[in-house]
Structure 1
Amino acid sequence: MTEYGREPTALLCVPFAGAGASFFHPWRATAAGRWRVVPVELPGRERRILETPYRNVVEAAKNSVDDIVADLGEGTPTVLFGHSLGAVLAYELVHLLSSREVPVERLVVSGSPGPWTQRERRATGLPDDEFLARVEEFAGFRHEALDHPEMRELILPVLQADCEMHENYVPSTDDRVSVPICSIRGSSDGLVDAEQARQWRHATTGAFSYAEIPGDHMYLVDRAREVLDLIEAESARGR
Protein backbone atom coordinates (compact mmCIF):
# COMPACT_ATOMS: atom_id res chain seq x y z
CA MET A 1 0.00 0.00 0.00
CA THR A 2 1.11 3.54 -0.66
CA GLU A 3 0.18 6.73 1.16
CA TYR A 4 -3.43 6.86 2.41
CA GLY A 5 -3.79 3.11 1.85
CA ARG A 6 -4.04 3.46 -1.92
CA GLU A 7 -2.73 0.65 -4.08
CA PRO A 8 0.22 1.77 -6.23
CA THR A 9 -0.37 2.49 -9.89
CA ALA A 10 0.34 -0.50 -12.09
CA LEU A 11 3.13 -0.23 -14.65
CA LEU A 12 2.13 -2.62 -17.42
CA CYS A 13 5.31 -3.57 -19.31
CA VAL A 14 5.00 -4.98 -22.82
CA PRO A 15 8.06 -6.88 -24.07
CA PHE A 16 10.04 -6.16 -27.24
CA ALA A 17 10.65 -8.72 -29.99
CA GLY A 18 12.07 -11.98 -28.66
CA ALA A 19 11.78 -10.94 -25.01
CA GLY A 20 9.66 -12.43 -22.27
CA ALA A 21 8.05 -11.12 -19.12
CA SER A 22 11.17 -11.96 -17.10
CA PHE A 23 13.05 -9.08 -18.72
CA PHE A 24 11.02 -6.74 -16.50
CA HIS A 25 11.27 -8.73 -13.27
CA PRO A 26 14.39 -6.80 -12.11
CA TRP A 27 12.42 -3.58 -12.57
CA ARG A 28 10.23 -4.54 -9.62
CA ALA A 29 12.91 -3.76 -7.06
CA THR A 30 13.75 -0.44 -8.74
CA ALA A 31 10.06 0.47 -9.01
CA ALA A 32 9.19 -0.52 -5.44
CA GLY A 33 7.02 2.10 -3.79
CA ARG A 34 6.34 3.80 -7.11
CA TRP A 35 4.50 1.21 -9.19
CA ARG A 36 3.42 -2.40 -9.22
CA VAL A 37 5.27 -3.75 -12.25
CA VAL A 38 3.04 -6.09 -14.27
CA PRO A 39 4.85 -7.66 -17.24
CA VAL A 40 2.75 -8.96 -20.14
CA GLU A 41 3.29 -12.66 -20.82
CA LEU A 42 3.07 -13.56 -24.50
CA PRO A 43 2.85 -17.09 -25.96
CA GLY A 44 5.91 -18.89 -27.27
CA ARG A 45 8.28 -17.97 -24.45
CA GLU A 46 9.03 -18.74 -20.81
CA ARG A 47 5.95 -20.12 -19.01
CA ARG A 48 4.04 -20.16 -22.32
CA ILE A 49 6.85 -21.75 -24.35
CA LEU A 50 4.60 -24.49 -25.80
CA GLU A 51 2.04 -22.03 -27.18
CA THR A 52 2.14 -20.70 -30.74
CA PRO A 53 3.44 -17.13 -30.88
CA TYR A 54 1.32 -14.42 -32.46
CA ARG A 55 2.11 -12.99 -35.89
CA ASN A 56 -0.34 -10.09 -35.77
CA VAL A 57 -0.19 -7.20 -33.28
CA VAL A 58 -3.93 -6.49 -33.25
CA GLU A 59 -4.74 -10.17 -32.69
CA ALA A 60 -2.14 -10.36 -29.91
CA ALA A 61 -3.68 -7.38 -28.13
CA LYS A 62 -7.26 -8.64 -28.43
CA ASN A 63 -6.36 -12.12 -27.25
CA SER A 64 -4.24 -10.86 -24.34
CA VAL A 65 -6.50 -8.18 -22.89
CA ASP A 66 -8.64 -10.49 -20.72
CA ASP A 67 -5.60 -11.93 -18.95
CA ILE A 68 -4.12 -8.46 -18.59
CA VAL A 69 -7.29 -7.08 -16.99
CA ALA A 70 -7.29 -10.04 -14.59
CA ASP A 71 -3.65 -9.37 -13.66
CA LEU A 72 -4.22 -5.65 -13.20
CA GLY A 73 -7.59 -5.81 -11.48
CA GLU A 74 -10.49 -3.66 -12.62
CA GLY A 75 -10.20 -0.05 -11.57
CA THR A 76 -6.43 -0.13 -11.11
CA PRO A 77 -4.76 3.07 -12.37
CA THR A 78 -2.28 1.94 -15.02
CA VAL A 79 0.66 3.31 -16.98
CA LEU A 80 1.69 1.32 -20.06
CA PHE A 81 5.29 0.97 -21.20
CA GLY A 82 6.39 -0.74 -24.38
CA HIS A 83 9.67 -0.83 -26.29
CA SER A 84 9.86 -1.27 -30.08
CA LEU A 85 7.31 -4.05 -30.86
CA GLY A 86 6.04 -3.54 -27.32
CA ALA A 87 5.27 0.11 -28.12
CA VAL A 88 2.72 -0.65 -30.84
CA LEU A 89 1.28 -3.54 -28.85
CA ALA A 90 0.87 -1.22 -25.86
CA TYR A 91 -0.83 1.33 -28.13
CA GLU A 92 -3.37 -1.28 -29.22
CA LEU A 93 -3.91 -2.27 -25.58
CA VAL A 94 -4.68 1.33 -24.59
CA HIS A 95 -7.59 1.32 -27.06
CA LEU A 96 -8.89 -1.94 -25.56
CA LEU A 97 -8.35 -1.14 -21.89
CA SER A 98 -10.26 2.12 -22.16
CA SER A 99 -13.48 0.12 -22.41
CA ARG A 100 -12.53 -2.45 -19.76
CA GLU A 101 -12.79 -0.40 -16.55
CA VAL A 102 -9.01 0.01 -16.38
CA PRO A 103 -8.12 3.72 -16.04
CA VAL A 104 -5.03 4.24 -18.19
CA GLU A 105 -3.09 7.29 -17.01
CA ARG A 106 -0.29 7.39 -19.59
CA LEU A 107 1.31 5.54 -22.49
CA VAL A 108 5.11 5.48 -22.59
CA VAL A 109 6.52 4.27 -25.90
CA SER A 110 10.18 3.56 -26.48
CA GLY A 111 12.36 2.99 -29.52
CA SER A 112 9.48 3.21 -31.96
CA PRO A 113 8.29 5.39 -34.84
CA GLY A 114 4.65 6.46 -34.84
CA PRO A 115 2.05 3.71 -35.27
CA TRP A 116 1.22 4.65 -38.88
CA THR A 117 4.82 4.48 -40.10
CA GLN A 118 5.53 1.40 -42.20
CA ARG A 119 8.80 -0.37 -41.45
CA GLU A 120 11.07 0.01 -44.47
CA ARG A 121 14.02 -1.97 -43.12
CA ARG A 122 12.87 -5.55 -42.78
CA ALA A 123 14.14 -8.94 -41.62
CA THR A 124 10.99 -11.01 -42.19
CA GLY A 125 11.44 -13.85 -44.67
CA LEU A 126 15.23 -13.94 -44.64
CA PRO A 127 17.11 -17.24 -44.09
CA ASP A 128 17.89 -17.85 -40.44
CA ASP A 129 21.48 -16.61 -40.36
CA GLU A 130 20.69 -13.55 -42.47
CA PHE A 131 17.64 -12.86 -40.35
CA LEU A 132 19.68 -12.88 -37.14
CA ALA A 133 22.36 -10.70 -38.68
CA ARG A 134 19.72 -8.18 -39.80
CA VAL A 135 18.05 -8.11 -36.38
CA GLU A 136 21.42 -7.64 -34.69
CA GLU A 137 22.14 -4.79 -37.11
CA PHE A 138 18.80 -3.17 -36.28
CA ALA A 139 19.13 -3.49 -32.54
CA GLY A 140 22.86 -3.02 -32.14
CA PHE A 141 22.55 -5.88 -29.69
CA ARG A 142 22.88 -9.67 -29.77
CA HIS A 143 21.50 -11.87 -27.01
CA GLU A 144 24.15 -14.31 -25.83
CA ALA A 145 21.58 -17.14 -25.79
CA LEU A 146 21.58 -17.10 -29.60
CA ASP A 147 25.15 -18.44 -29.51
CA HIS A 148 23.93 -21.69 -27.91
CA PRO A 149 22.30 -24.10 -30.42
CA GLU A 150 19.64 -25.38 -28.01
CA MET A 151 18.59 -21.91 -26.91
CA ARG A 152 18.71 -20.60 -30.46
CA GLU A 153 16.29 -23.35 -31.52
CA LEU A 154 13.82 -22.12 -28.87
CA ILE A 155 14.27 -18.39 -29.38
CA LEU A 156 14.50 -18.10 -33.17
CA PRO A 157 10.87 -19.00 -34.05
CA VAL A 158 9.56 -16.51 -31.50
CA LEU A 159 11.89 -13.77 -32.69
CA GLN A 160 10.85 -14.42 -36.30
CA ALA A 161 7.15 -14.29 -35.42
CA ASP A 162 7.63 -11.11 -33.40
CA CYS A 163 9.51 -9.39 -36.22
CA GLU A 164 6.84 -10.43 -38.70
CA MET A 165 4.03 -8.95 -36.64
CA HIS A 166 6.02 -5.78 -35.97
CA GLU A 167 7.07 -5.21 -39.58
CA ASN A 168 3.55 -5.91 -40.88
CA TYR A 169 1.75 -3.87 -38.22
CA VAL A 170 -1.20 -1.75 -39.28
CA PRO A 171 -3.17 0.03 -36.50
CA SER A 172 -6.65 -1.32 -35.83
CA THR A 173 -8.11 2.18 -35.95
CA ASP A 174 -7.23 5.70 -37.03
CA ASP A 175 -8.75 7.02 -33.79
CA ARG A 176 -6.21 8.63 -31.52
CA VAL A 177 -6.02 7.75 -27.84
CA SER A 178 -6.92 10.37 -25.25
CA VAL A 179 -4.20 9.56 -22.73
CA PRO A 180 -0.89 11.47 -22.61
CA ILE A 181 1.96 9.87 -24.55
CA CYS A 182 5.64 10.08 -23.74
CA SER A 183 8.02 8.87 -26.46
CA ILE A 184 11.54 7.84 -25.44
CA ARG A 185 14.48 7.16 -27.72
CA GLY A 186 18.06 6.09 -27.19
CA SER A 187 20.13 9.12 -28.19
CA SER A 188 22.24 7.10 -30.64
CA ASP A 189 19.46 4.81 -31.91
CA GLY A 190 20.33 3.95 -35.52
CA LEU A 191 16.97 2.31 -36.20
CA VAL A 192 14.55 5.03 -35.06
CA ASP A 193 15.48 8.68 -35.53
CA ALA A 194 14.26 11.58 -33.43
CA GLU A 195 11.59 12.76 -35.87
CA GLN A 196 10.17 9.24 -36.18
CA ALA A 197 10.02 8.96 -32.39
CA ARG A 198 8.19 12.30 -32.26
CA GLN A 199 5.52 11.01 -34.68
CA TRP A 200 3.69 9.69 -31.62
CA ARG A 201 2.46 13.22 -31.00
CA HIS A 202 -0.13 12.53 -33.72
CA ALA A 203 -1.41 9.43 -31.89
CA THR A 204 -3.00 11.25 -28.93
CA THR A 205 -5.47 14.03 -28.28
CA GLY A 206 -3.79 14.51 -24.91
CA ALA A 207 -0.39 15.84 -23.93
CA PHE A 208 2.76 14.67 -25.68
CA SER A 209 6.38 14.69 -24.54
CA TYR A 210 9.64 13.42 -25.97
CA ALA A 211 12.85 12.44 -24.22
CA GLU A 212 16.18 10.80 -24.98
CA ILE A 213 18.29 8.52 -22.80
CA PRO A 214 21.94 7.81 -23.62
CA GLY A 215 22.38 4.63 -25.65
CA ASP A 216 21.41 2.86 -28.85
CA HIS A 217 18.18 1.10 -29.80
CA MET A 218 18.46 -1.31 -26.86
CA TYR A 219 19.46 1.35 -24.33
CA LEU A 220 16.92 0.07 -21.80
CA VAL A 221 18.90 -3.14 -21.18
CA ASP A 222 21.24 -1.12 -18.96
CA ARG A 223 19.08 1.90 -18.18
CA ALA A 224 16.10 0.63 -16.20
CA ARG A 225 16.50 3.21 -13.44
CA GLU A 226 16.67 6.11 -15.89
CA VAL A 227 13.53 4.84 -17.64
CA LEU A 228 11.62 4.53 -14.38
CA ASP A 229 12.82 7.93 -13.15
CA LEU A 230 11.65 9.47 -16.40
CA ILE A 231 8.24 7.82 -16.17
CA GLU A 232 7.92 9.08 -12.60
CA ALA A 233 8.82 12.62 -13.65
CA GLU A 234 6.33 12.52 -16.52
CA SER A 235 3.61 11.20 -14.22
CA ALA A 236 4.30 13.92 -11.65
CA ARG A 237 4.09 16.57 -14.37
CA GLY A 238 0.65 15.30 -15.39
CA ARG A 239 -0.86 15.43 -11.92
Structure 2
Amino acid sequence: MDDPMTLVLTALPGSGGAAQPALVCFPPAGAGASFYRRLAPRLTGPEEAPTSPVEGLTSPVAGQLFSTVWAVQYPGRESRLREPHTLTCAERSGEATAAIRAQLSSAPGVVLLGHSFGARVAFDTALQLRAEGFPVAGLIVSGCAAQVPAPGHRRHPDPHMSTAEALLTWVRELGGLPADLLACDELLALTAAALRADLIAAEAPASPADAVLDVPLLLLSADDDPLVPPAAMDDWAARTTAGSIRLDLHGGHHALLHDGSWLLATASWLDELTAGGGVCPAGGRRP
Protein backbone atom coordinates (compact mmCIF):
# COMPACT_ATOMS: atom_id res chain seq x y z
CA MET A 1 0.00 0.00 0.00
CA ASP A 2 1.27 3.49 -0.85
CA ASP A 3 2.41 5.73 1.97
CA PRO A 4 -0.28 8.49 2.12
CA MET A 5 2.42 11.17 2.13
CA THR A 6 3.83 9.96 -1.20
CA LEU A 7 0.44 10.58 -2.81
CA VAL A 8 0.30 14.21 -1.69
CA LEU A 9 3.46 15.30 -3.53
CA THR A 10 3.98 14.42 -7.19
CA ALA A 11 7.50 14.70 -8.60
CA LEU A 12 7.47 16.48 -11.97
CA PRO A 13 9.96 15.96 -14.82
CA GLY A 14 13.34 17.63 -14.81
CA SER A 15 16.15 18.26 -12.37
CA GLY A 16 18.48 21.18 -11.83
CA GLY A 17 21.43 22.09 -9.64
CA ALA A 18 21.62 20.16 -6.38
CA ALA A 19 22.40 23.36 -4.46
CA GLN A 20 19.18 25.04 -5.59
CA PRO A 21 16.02 24.96 -3.47
CA ALA A 22 13.18 22.60 -4.35
CA LEU A 23 9.95 24.06 -5.70
CA VAL A 24 6.53 22.88 -4.50
CA CYS A 25 3.56 23.97 -6.66
CA PHE A 26 -0.06 24.23 -5.53
CA PRO A 27 -2.69 23.89 -8.31
CA PRO A 28 -5.62 26.24 -8.92
CA ALA A 29 -9.24 25.27 -8.26
CA GLY A 30 -10.43 22.24 -10.21
CA ALA A 31 -6.93 21.21 -11.25
CA GLY A 32 -4.49 18.52 -10.21
CA ALA A 33 -0.72 18.19 -10.09
CA SER A 34 -0.54 17.80 -13.89
CA PHE A 35 -1.44 21.52 -14.24
CA TYR A 36 2.27 22.26 -13.74
CA ARG A 37 3.70 19.39 -15.77
CA ARG A 38 4.62 21.39 -18.87
CA LEU A 39 6.21 24.12 -16.75
CA ALA A 40 8.47 21.79 -14.77
CA PRO A 41 11.32 21.48 -17.33
CA ARG A 42 11.41 25.28 -17.62
CA LEU A 43 11.70 25.62 -13.83
CA THR A 44 14.74 23.39 -13.52
CA GLY A 45 16.14 24.37 -16.90
CA PRO A 46 19.55 24.04 -18.56
CA GLU A 47 22.58 25.75 -17.09
CA GLU A 48 22.44 28.33 -19.86
CA ALA A 49 19.30 29.94 -21.19
CA PRO A 50 18.29 28.75 -24.67
CA THR A 51 18.74 31.19 -27.53
CA SER A 52 15.10 30.88 -28.58
CA PRO A 53 11.93 30.94 -26.47
CA VAL A 54 10.59 27.67 -25.12
CA GLU A 55 7.39 26.57 -26.87
CA GLY A 56 4.33 28.23 -25.36
CA LEU A 57 6.27 30.92 -23.49
CA THR A 58 7.23 34.43 -24.56
CA SER A 59 10.59 34.44 -22.71
CA PRO A 60 13.34 31.83 -22.34
CA VAL A 61 14.37 30.14 -19.10
CA ALA A 62 17.27 31.65 -17.20
CA GLY A 63 19.35 28.75 -15.96
CA GLN A 64 18.72 26.24 -13.23
CA LEU A 65 16.12 27.75 -10.93
CA PHE A 66 15.25 24.76 -8.74
CA SER A 67 16.80 21.40 -7.93
CA THR A 68 13.49 19.53 -8.26
CA VAL A 69 9.87 20.47 -8.92
CA TRP A 70 6.97 18.92 -7.05
CA ALA A 71 3.23 19.52 -7.27
CA VAL A 72 0.69 19.00 -4.52
CA GLN A 73 -2.05 16.56 -5.45
CA TYR A 74 -5.32 17.43 -3.73
CA PRO A 75 -7.63 14.52 -2.92
CA GLY A 76 -10.41 13.53 -5.33
CA ARG A 77 -8.49 13.85 -8.61
CA GLU A 78 -5.83 12.22 -10.78
CA SER A 79 -3.68 9.85 -8.67
CA ARG A 80 -5.97 10.44 -5.66
CA LEU A 81 -9.23 10.03 -7.52
CA ARG A 82 -10.65 7.44 -5.12
CA GLU A 83 -10.27 9.71 -2.08
CA PRO A 84 -13.07 12.03 -0.95
CA HIS A 85 -12.67 15.74 -1.54
CA THR A 86 -11.66 17.87 1.44
CA LEU A 87 -13.56 21.12 1.98
CA THR A 88 -11.18 23.35 3.96
CA CYS A 89 -7.79 24.89 3.33
CA ALA A 90 -6.68 23.59 6.72
CA GLU A 91 -6.99 20.01 5.51
CA ARG A 92 -5.11 20.79 2.29
CA SER A 93 -2.29 22.75 3.96
CA GLY A 94 -2.01 20.28 6.83
CA GLU A 95 -1.30 17.32 4.58
CA ALA A 96 0.97 19.40 2.31
CA THR A 97 3.01 20.48 5.33
CA ALA A 98 3.39 16.90 6.53
CA ALA A 99 4.36 15.65 3.06
CA ILE A 100 6.96 18.40 2.52
CA ARG A 101 8.56 17.70 5.89
CA ALA A 102 8.62 13.96 5.18
CA GLN A 103 9.90 14.05 1.60
CA LEU A 104 11.97 17.24 1.29
CA SER A 105 13.77 17.38 4.62
CA SER A 106 17.15 17.06 2.87
CA ALA A 107 16.49 19.83 0.34
CA PRO A 108 18.48 23.08 0.79
CA GLY A 109 15.24 24.93 1.45
CA VAL A 110 12.00 25.05 -0.51
CA VAL A 111 10.10 27.69 -2.45
CA LEU A 112 6.31 27.38 -2.60
CA LEU A 113 4.35 28.46 -5.69
CA GLY A 114 0.59 28.86 -5.48
CA HIS A 115 -1.60 29.88 -8.41
CA SER A 116 -5.15 31.17 -7.84
CA PHE A 117 -6.80 28.97 -5.15
CA GLY A 118 -3.45 27.23 -4.75
CA ALA A 119 -1.94 30.47 -3.41
CA ARG A 120 -4.20 30.30 -0.34
CA VAL A 121 -3.12 26.75 0.39
CA ALA A 122 0.53 27.64 -0.26
CA PHE A 123 0.40 30.62 2.13
CA ASP A 124 -1.16 28.52 4.89
CA THR A 125 1.42 25.79 4.27
CA ALA A 126 4.26 28.30 4.47
CA LEU A 127 2.93 29.54 7.81
CA GLN A 128 2.82 26.00 9.20
CA LEU A 129 6.26 25.08 7.90
CA ARG A 130 7.86 28.22 9.33
CA ALA A 131 6.14 27.65 12.68
CA GLU A 132 7.87 24.26 12.74
CA GLY A 133 11.24 25.76 11.78
CA PHE A 134 11.32 24.34 8.24
CA PRO A 135 13.49 26.34 5.77
CA VAL A 136 11.05 28.04 3.38
CA ALA A 137 13.16 30.28 1.14
CA GLY A 138 10.27 32.13 -0.52
CA LEU A 139 6.65 32.10 -1.65
CA ILE A 140 5.44 32.88 -5.19
CA VAL A 141 1.81 34.03 -5.30
CA SER A 142 0.05 34.12 -8.68
CA GLY A 143 -3.44 35.37 -9.54
CA CYS A 144 -4.94 35.46 -6.05
CA ALA A 145 -6.27 38.32 -3.93
CA ALA A 146 -4.75 38.62 -0.47
CA GLN A 147 -8.13 38.73 1.22
CA VAL A 148 -10.95 36.20 0.77
CA PRO A 149 -13.85 38.08 -0.85
CA ALA A 150 -17.10 38.22 1.08
CA PRO A 151 -19.83 35.99 -0.42
CA GLY A 152 -21.56 39.02 -1.94
CA HIS A 153 -18.37 40.05 -3.73
CA ARG A 154 -17.38 36.73 -5.28
CA ARG A 155 -15.98 36.80 -8.81
CA HIS A 156 -16.81 33.12 -9.23
CA PRO A 157 -20.09 31.17 -9.12
CA ASP A 158 -21.50 30.22 -5.73
CA PRO A 159 -20.04 26.73 -5.18
CA HIS A 160 -22.92 25.76 -2.90
CA MET A 161 -25.73 26.62 -5.32
CA SER A 162 -24.32 26.57 -8.86
CA THR A 163 -24.86 23.70 -11.26
CA ALA A 164 -21.93 21.70 -12.58
CA GLU A 165 -22.56 23.26 -15.99
CA ALA A 166 -22.30 26.79 -14.56
CA LEU A 167 -19.02 25.96 -12.79
CA LEU A 168 -17.54 24.46 -15.94
CA THR A 169 -18.66 27.39 -18.09
CA TRP A 170 -16.95 29.79 -15.68
CA VAL A 171 -13.64 27.93 -15.59
CA ARG A 172 -13.72 27.43 -19.37
CA GLU A 173 -14.07 31.19 -19.87
CA LEU A 174 -10.96 31.66 -17.75
CA GLY A 175 -9.06 29.31 -20.06
CA GLY A 176 -8.76 26.63 -17.40
CA LEU A 177 -10.07 23.59 -19.29
CA PRO A 178 -7.70 21.70 -21.62
CA ALA A 179 -9.18 20.92 -25.04
CA ASP A 180 -8.87 17.16 -24.59
CA LEU A 181 -10.94 17.31 -21.40
CA LEU A 182 -13.85 19.04 -23.16
CA ALA A 183 -14.52 15.92 -25.22
CA CYS A 184 -15.06 13.60 -22.25
CA ASP A 185 -18.25 13.92 -20.18
CA GLU A 186 -16.87 11.74 -17.40
CA LEU A 187 -13.77 13.92 -16.99
CA LEU A 188 -15.89 17.05 -17.07
CA ALA A 189 -18.07 15.69 -14.25
CA LEU A 190 -14.98 14.89 -12.18
CA THR A 191 -13.56 18.36 -12.85
CA ALA A 192 -16.82 20.03 -11.80
CA ALA A 193 -16.83 18.07 -8.53
CA ALA A 194 -13.20 19.02 -7.82
CA LEU A 195 -13.88 22.64 -8.71
CA ARG A 196 -16.86 22.82 -6.37
CA ALA A 197 -14.85 21.36 -3.48
CA ASP A 198 -11.94 23.74 -4.09
CA LEU A 199 -14.14 26.84 -4.25
CA ILE A 200 -15.79 25.82 -0.98
CA ALA A 201 -12.37 25.29 0.59
CA ALA A 202 -11.20 28.70 -0.67
CA GLU A 203 -13.85 30.33 1.50
CA ALA A 204 -12.42 28.63 4.61
CA PRO A 205 -8.71 29.60 4.83
CA ALA A 206 -6.67 28.00 7.58
CA SER A 207 -4.99 31.23 8.68
CA PRO A 208 -6.53 34.45 10.01
CA ALA A 209 -6.82 37.43 7.67
CA ASP A 210 -4.02 39.27 9.51
CA ALA A 211 -1.53 36.37 9.55
CA VAL A 212 1.98 37.47 8.51
CA LEU A 213 4.86 35.39 7.15
CA ASP A 214 8.59 35.91 7.64
CA VAL A 215 9.25 34.73 4.07
CA PRO A 216 9.91 36.89 0.95
CA LEU A 217 7.08 37.05 -1.59
CA LEU A 218 7.19 37.21 -5.38
CA LEU A 219 3.77 38.39 -6.58
CA LEU A 220 2.56 37.62 -10.12
CA SER A 221 -0.42 39.56 -11.46
CA ALA A 222 -1.81 39.65 -15.01
CA ASP A 223 -2.96 42.76 -16.85
CA ASP A 224 -6.04 41.10 -18.38
CA ASP A 225 -7.13 38.88 -15.49
CA PRO A 226 -10.93 39.14 -15.09
CA LEU A 227 -10.88 37.20 -11.81
CA VAL A 228 -8.06 38.94 -9.95
CA PRO A 229 -7.25 42.45 -11.26
CA PRO A 230 -3.69 43.51 -10.44
CA ALA A 231 -4.85 45.93 -7.72
CA ALA A 232 -6.50 43.05 -5.87
CA MET A 233 -3.04 41.67 -5.09
CA ASP A 234 -1.69 44.84 -3.49
CA ASP A 235 -2.43 43.72 0.06
CA TRP A 236 -0.04 40.76 -0.16
CA ALA A 237 2.86 43.13 0.58
CA ALA A 238 1.54 43.51 4.13
CA ARG A 239 1.42 39.73 4.66
CA THR A 240 5.18 39.35 5.10
CA THR A 241 7.93 40.93 7.16
CA ALA A 242 10.58 39.85 4.63
CA GLY A 243 9.66 42.08 1.69
CA SER A 244 7.88 41.50 -1.61
CA ILE A 245 8.35 42.13 -5.31
CA ARG A 246 5.52 42.51 -7.86
CA LEU A 247 5.75 41.38 -11.44
CA ASP A 248 3.09 42.28 -13.99
CA LEU A 249 2.46 39.58 -16.61
CA HIS A 250 0.62 39.93 -19.91
CA GLY A 251 -2.48 37.80 -20.35
CA GLY A 252 -5.50 36.43 -18.53
CA HIS A 253 -5.96 34.50 -15.33
CA HIS A 254 -3.51 31.73 -16.26
CA ALA A 255 -0.85 34.08 -17.63
CA LEU A 256 1.95 32.27 -15.77
CA LEU A 257 1.53 29.40 -18.28
CA HIS A 258 2.07 31.69 -21.28
CA ASP A 259 4.16 34.72 -20.27
CA GLY A 260 7.58 33.34 -19.36
CA SER A 261 8.96 36.68 -18.15
CA TRP A 262 8.33 35.58 -14.58
CA LEU A 263 10.88 32.76 -15.00
CA LEU A 264 13.62 35.28 -15.70
CA ALA A 265 12.43 37.45 -12.81
CA THR A 266 12.46 34.43 -10.52
CA ALA A 267 16.11 33.80 -11.33
CA SER A 268 16.96 37.36 -10.25
CA TRP A 269 14.72 37.04 -7.20
CA LEU A 270 16.46 33.86 -6.07
CA ASP A 271 19.83 35.56 -6.50
CA GLU A 272 18.63 38.44 -4.33
CA LEU A 273 17.42 36.03 -1.67
CA THR A 274 20.84 34.38 -1.57
CA ALA A 275 22.71 37.68 -1.51
CA GLY A 276 20.37 39.30 0.99
CA GLY A 277 20.00 36.42 3.42
CA GLY A 278 16.42 35.73 2.41
CA VAL A 279 15.11 39.32 2.45
CA CYS A 280 13.65 41.16 -0.55
CA PRO A 281 13.41 44.91 -1.01
CA ALA A 282 10.11 45.94 0.54
CA GLY A 283 7.35 46.78 -1.91
CA GLY A 284 9.53 46.39 -4.98
CA ARG A 285 7.92 46.27 -8.41
CA ARG A 286 9.10 45.22 -11.82
CA PRO A 287 7.28 45.96 -15.07
State the partner residue of 1:131: 167
* Aligned equivalents of 1:75, 1:143: Cα separation in 2: 33
Which 10-residue stretch deviates more, 66-75 or 87-96?
66-75
TM-score by length of 1: 0.88
Q: Which amino acid aligns with 1:109?
A: V
Q: Which structure 2 residues correspond to residues 205-220 of structure 1 after superposition, within 5 A?
A: 205-220=241-256
State the partner residue of 1:82: 114
1:229 aligns with 2:260: no
Alpha-carbon offset, residue 178 of structure 1: 0.9
1:109 aligns with 2:141: yes
Q: Report if the CA contact (8 A) 2:88-2:205 is conserved.
A: no
Q: Which amino acid aligns with 2:170?
A: R
In structure 2, the CA distance between the partners of 1:117 and 1:163, relative to structure 1 (3 Å rule), is closer
Which 10-residue stretch deviates more, 48-57 or 24-33?
24-33
In structure 2, the CA distance between the partners of 1:170 and 1:47, relative to structure 1 (3 Å rule), is closer
State the partner residue of 2:11: none
Alpha-carbon offset, residue 116 of structure 1: 4.8
State the partner residue of 2:94: 62
In structure 1, runs of 5+ residues without a counterpart are: none
Q: Report if the CA contact (8 A) 1:116-1:171 is conserved.
A: no
Alpha-carbon offset, residue 31 of structure 1: 2.2
Alpha-carbon offset, residue 7 of structure 1: 3.3
Q: Which amino acid aligns with 2:154?
A: E
State the partner residue of 2:212: 176
Alpha-carbon offset, residue 146 of structure 1: 3.5
Q: Report if the CA contact (8 A) 2:124-2:207 is conserved.
A: yes
Q: Which has the higher helix share?
A: 1
| Number of matched pairs | 234
Q: Deviations over 1:179-235 (max 9, x none)?
A: 111211112111111221111011111211111111111112323x43322222222
Q: Report if the CA contact (8 A) 1:84-1:111 is conserved.
A: yes
- Correspondent of 1:199 among 210, 235, 246: 235
State the partner residue of 2:177: 142
Helix, strand or coil for the counterpart of 1:98? helix
Q: Which runs of 4+ in 1 moved over 4 A?
A: none
Q: Which amino acid aligns with 2:69?
A: V
In structure 2, the CA distance between the partners of 1:30 and 1:128, relative to structure 1 (3 Å rule), is same
Q: Which amino acid aligns with 1:60?
A: R
Report % sequence identity.
Answer: 27
* Aligned equivalents of 1:208, 1:67: Cα separation in 2: 27
CA RMSD, aligned part only?
2.1
1:72 aligns with 2:104: yes
* Aligned equivalents of 2:177, 2:37: Cα separation in 1: 20
Helix, strand or coil for the counterpart of 1:53? coil
State the partner residue of 1:21: 33
- Correspondent of 2:78 among 46, 53, 59: 46
